[in-house]
Amino acid sequence: MRLRKTKRVPFRSPGELDAMAAAGAVVGQALVAVRDAAKVGVSTLELDEVAESVIRGAGAVPSFKGYHGFTGSICSSVNDVVVHGIPSSTVVLAEGDLVSIDCGAILDGWHGDSAWTFGVGELSQADQDLSDATRLSMEAGIAAMVDRARLTDISYAIETGTRKAEKTFGRGFGIVDGYGGHGIGREMHLDPFLPNEGDPGHGPLLVIGSTLAIEPMLTLGTTETTELPDGWTVVTDDGSRAAHWEHTVAVTADGPRILTQRPA
């Protein structure tokens, strides 16, 4: 009898991880530039132009632009938009808006993918708690990316991080159904799909060099969403606000390595 070999999350060499980190650094630079430009009265299309300028100026190519027909270099998701918001001249930022920016870049054939949520001006306490909870959930998932872990160990860590955040902030958060992280490397989206909740101990094995994009999406209400007729924009069904944080991460002998670092 032949023993079945355990499936592994795809892995990269140290040099390939460095190449992915170079692509990720471009993404980090673009995100910081977009946040700096996100002021009252600025459109999400203008933010998109900022991101594309940074990416191309670094000798990279936007991952998102043209991807299955997507028109932007970023996904710009405002307030009740969870993910995949299309940059537009008609979406103009206002005081107190909660903005999630997802950005990707290709450099020398390798992809970086990262997202973060921030406020325009001063956020309400609920919105700030939501963004912080989503970040903490992502960080919990990152901490679980260790050698010999199973894929759903990360899912469980994200879910557990969310429930811990509920106790910390004294409010409930919805973990958006049907969306999650993914493998990444020479393509932006690779198997395996990474759920943002679930029991530990299942799925492919993580090994040194395995790479994943970890990206929880939380809401202040429902877990249910609807895709708008544009075929991209995903909104919460109850109109509650949403947040989205993401990093591309690798497993190393020294622990998780974030490949999409942002400049200070």
Q: What is the pLDDT of residue 1?
A: 42
Q: Is 247 annotated as a binding residue?
A: no
Q: What's the angle, vertex CA 116, arms to CA 114 and CA 119, rounded to 5?
A: 160
Domain-located, residue 6: no
CA–CA dist 100, 238 (Å, integer): 18
In a domain, 26, yes or no: yes
Q: Please answer whether residues 259 and 248 qualify as being in contact, where contact means their C-beta atoms are separated by less than 8 angstroms.
A: yes
Q: Was 246 annotated as part of a binding site?
A: yes
Residue 6 pLDDT? 76
At residue 174, the pLDDT reads 98
Whose CA is closest to 223, among 247, 199, 240, 209?
240
**Alpha carbon 138 to its chain's center:** 9
- Sheet order of strands, 247-252 included: 190-195, 180-183, 211-214, 247-252, 255-258
pLDDT at residue 264 in the model: 81
pLDDT of residue 3: 43
As a whole number of Å, the CA-based R_g of the chain is 18
Residue 189 marked ligand-binding: yes
How many domains does the chain divide into?
1
In CATH, what number is assigned to the domain containing residue 108?
3.90.230.10
**For residues 183 and 214, is the Cβ–Cβ distance under 8 A?**
no
Is 102 annotated as belonging to a binding site? yes
Please give the DSSP secondary-structure letter assigned to residue 39.
-
| pTM score | 0.96
Q: Is 182 annotated as a binding residue?
A: yes
In a domain, 263, yes or no: no
Supply the pLDDT for residue 199: 98
Q: How far is CA 103 from the centre of its chain?
A: 8
Q: What is the dihedral of CA 88, 216, 182, 237, to 10 degrees?
A: -60
Domain residue limits at 77? 14-258
| Residue 3 in domain | no
Residue 264 lies in a domain: no
Question: What is the residue-level pLDDT of the chain in tens, covering all 264 positions?
Answer: 444 567 999 999 999 999 999 999 999 999 999 999 999 999 999 999 999 999 999 999 999 999 999 999 999 999 999 999 999 999 999 999 999 999 999 999 999 999 999 999 999 999 999 999 999 999 999 999 999 999 999 999 999 999 999 999 999 999 999 999 999 999 999 999 999 999 999 999 999 999 999 999 999 999 999 999 999 999 999 999 999 999 999 999 999 999 999 998
- The H or E element that residue 167 is part of is helix 151-169
